[in-house]
Structure 1
Amino acid sequence: MDLDLRLVRYFVAVADELHFGRAAARLYISQPALSKQVRKLEDQLGAPLLVRDSRHVTLTPRGQRFLDDARQLLAVADRMARPAEDGVLRIAHIFELATSRTVAAAFAAEYPGIRLVERSMDSHRQFQALLNDQLDLGVLRVTAQLQAERPSGWHHELLRLEPLLLIGRPGDEPRDQVSLYERPIEVFADTPDSGMYNAHGDYLTTFERHARLTLRWLGNPGIFEQCLAAVTRARDAAYVLEFESLAVRYAEAGLPVYRPAELQPHYPWSIAWRDEIPSGPVRNVVAVARRTAKNQRWHELTETPVRPPLWIPPEDPVSPGSRS
């Protein structure tokens, strides 16, 4: 049986959206035409891929299996049709966080002949772009959900456990530690009901539940300067829970930075790449990332009598050097 790649693309669009109307708009065809083409694919395969009713579209078990294979098939087809770019490495960054940028800078210094193409994507978008061969390397949080969605076809390796610190208000006294419970804790992140909830939000929800906090969710302004402006102009007493790599910038702007007294959350960053024979640039950037983690001591975490217990989401792969 010869599969029509156009029909496969139509099916993947519907599977992504789980809605024929949205998928049809994305593909610039009519909804009846899209439905007819997906039926044609199901007839060719001899099995239903989707369950449709008046309100919902879901994948059948066969549809879920076919979706995994379809993504790989389309990725290979796109790669074959794309001009070869052996001297290019495609990587993404999350917000203005430093981990992926530090790796990219180290790679660019060691391999100046490779052109870096850099984008901004959250963890889930990086994951999908990686599997669809739109990225060569991801630096993201690997969650149980991502592993369940795609248990094979990719590798990941823990890169860094980044501490989260507390940012005070202008004029607060400098101290080494403050309590998580003496003031409200704010976070620059989108809520579960916002439609823009992501792996960072999931991490914060898990931490909120574990620490028995009620976080103030401030949304995601998009750039550090806007976060800094929001903290600087705030009039009520609160602390902002932030990544260490951004806390350095808050400190440079004159705001106090504290360690949480009761519990020290760490955010797990992993590198991820597709499960195939990697190109030279991919092999090299993975090696650079490992060396960078070692040189930056991103894995050296110890609890002492003067430091609070470390906390990481229990379902996340967190052993230094762990791979899948």
Structure 2
Amino acid sequence: MKKSLLFIPMLSSLATLPLLIASKCKQEETQEQKDEKLAKKYEKEYIDKQKYVFDDFEQFKMKSEYFQLVKNPSSREAWKDYTNRNIKTYWLTEEFYKNFYKWFKNFQWKFKIFKRIMNKYAANEIIKYQNPNNGMDPINLYYVKEVKFDFSQGMDSQNYALELSNGEFMDILNLFNIPNLNLNISPILPNWTILKEINFNKTYYSKINITSNYGLVLKSVLNKIREIFSIPKPYYKNEHFATHPAGKDDFQGEDRIPRIEFYTFWGLREQNADNEILNLRYKTSFDKGWNDIDVDYLKEYGNYDTFKFKSYRVKIVEYDPKKPLYADPSKVDEFVLSEHGL
């Protein structure tokens, strides 16, 4: 009798095992179930309340542990002619990429569901853009709260540089798949040809500020840059902010103009100092002046509908390596990305 009693706890545990397994299985939702659950939530939050600005995400928070200071960077040769440049060079850490991938995947998933319910229940609130001058099909655009990625750690763009491998640079470039992106970054010696390897979603941007070196930007890369920024930013509708704050800062902020800016670093050695992006709106070269402006580029890639969309203000800057660090730029090209400059 005593011996059989010893087995009672074991039998009791075995009896509850199926319940534990069933409970665990019940908690593990399939991706389809997760999608359906989020879709129902968005129907209530966006459709029922007539709030059509996607804002169900937290901004990616930059942390000090995401940046590793490099004592002897391989990119130091870029400033060989300026031994006192004293620029801080960083690598992005594994922890950054771990959290970045997680954030990016989550954003893409939620935005996919948002687009699905908008297409199903609020198709009239989707913005359509088409420029018949380049033969493009109409594309759907969606209002999104500004997405901010600032890699500066509070420093001036000229005072730090990020060393990125080709794979890491590609990861950062994938941010251009996100609507209403506000990006501030200073990569040194990146491989710009990687742009041609990525199929970007056609979308619009808020502010892009890149400080880098652009001496090896080929014509084919310039054509890719033309394509990336061919979709202007839609104006928000006033009624979207009557009861819904998403995008309000963008709508009422001090600077509501979408801007695209490419600066070279100060003090680059002469071999690295050219900014080939200066040729962006020219047939052959910025140095040939106004007579060489590519009117077809502005017509085919510029803002076709200035009543419903904001045109990008583009600024491209080059600094002369023979001048002091804080000297004025040697070359500047500024223009509005639309056929008529509006």
Higher relative CO (Cα under 8 Å, sequence separation at least 6) belongs to 1
Query: TM-score normalised to the size of structure 2?
Result: 0.25
Considering only CA atoms, is the larger Rg found in Structure 1 or Structure 2? 2
